[in-house]
Amino acid sequence: MRSLRSILVTGGAGFIGSTLVRQLLNRPDVEKITVLDALTNTGNSNNLKGPDQDPRFTFIEGDIRDQKRVSQSLIEHQCTAIMNLAAESHVDQSIEKPHDFIDTNVGGMMSILSAARPLNIPVLQCSTGKVYGSVNFPRRLDESARLRPSSPYSASKAGADLLIHAAHVTYGQDVVIARCTNIYGPRQHRDKLIPTLIFHALRDQPLPIYGSGQQIRDWIHVEDCAQGLIAALERGRPNRVYHLGSKTEHTNIGIARHILKHLHKPESLISHIEDRPGHDSRHALDPTLALNELRWRARIPFRSGFDHVVRELAAHLRPTEPA
């Protein structure tokens, strides 16, 4: 059991990170949470309103590529573990600017590992099931599956995961990887699929759907994901990969139709656009290892969880009435 006494959460101002911070602060054994975030792209300090009032919380604006800043944060706050959620994560943007994703996701991971190594601090990496590429129905991939990334984003995450494995083999570092399926929940960035569809639907604008919209994704609530990350850090075996999934599969067009129905909008708003290059047809992870070794499983039913999230995001994304 690793200590959660003082955790450095990189990327803690993001969608998943801010949820993780809230979950950690609910635990009595957590004495200090330090968030390191560059506040670029998906990072937003408003995501941390509430946690920032807790005396155990500290925020540092900084980049994970700055190894000196990471090292100083670990020493100053006497951190007992790092949970890395800092990443460039938008697939479309990775196609346009792949170098940014290599710099942050691979270079940043090297910086974190190098800072943690001399201090003997364990590292938990939040990775993605996208590193495997597409999988045909009805197969679900376990942790032994071959890495076959389809985009610069997923390739950069796979590269980071390989660096983590090498750090354990070469230096004996205590590292754990959690690979998550598609995540939904409050505070998700506007550029992601579900907030984008809600934003357009509320304005009666066409909902952009890549290709046929038959791409299949397994969806997990962000709170379940955060609990899985904590379980992986606390109880995961060194150099182990764990899958965090819910076995709840939906097509992209099915998600769009559900949102339109919930918002009382016509399906005629769905607009099919040219598919993006390298678009995986299906992602599906087998979470059995996480259940057996971490005693973790997704607990929030998709139907109730998704409807609640649509209501919450719609309230936030609704057009502002003119003055």
Q: Average pLDDT for residues 3-9, to the nearest whole number?
A: 98
Give DSSP secondary structure letters for 125-184.
Answer: EEEEGGGG----TT--B-TTSPP---SHHHHHHHHHHHHHHHHHHHH---EEEEEE-EEE
Q: Check if the beta carbon of residue 82 is closer than 8 Å to that of residue 17.
A: no
Q: Average pLDDT for residues 92-106, to the nearest whole number?
A: 93
Q: Structure tokens of 143? A: 């942790």
Q: pLDDT for 197-234, tens place per residue?
A: 999 999 999 999 999 999 999 999 999 999 999 999 99
Q: pLDDT for 46-78, tens place per residue?
A: 999 999 999 999 999 999 999 999 999 999 999
Query: Domain 6-186+219-247+281-301 is of which CATH architecture?
Result: 3-Layer(aba) Sandwich (3.40)
Q: Average pLDDT for residues 302-321, to the nearest whole number?
A: 92
Backbone angles phi and psi of 33, in degrees to 5? -120, 125
Domain definitions of the chain by residue range: 6-186+219-247+281-301
Q: Is the pTM of this model over 0.85?
A: yes
* More confidently predicted of 320 and 265: 265
**Cα separation of 125 and 83, whole Å?**
6
DSSP class of residue 218 equals E
Say what the pLDDT of residue 321 is: 61
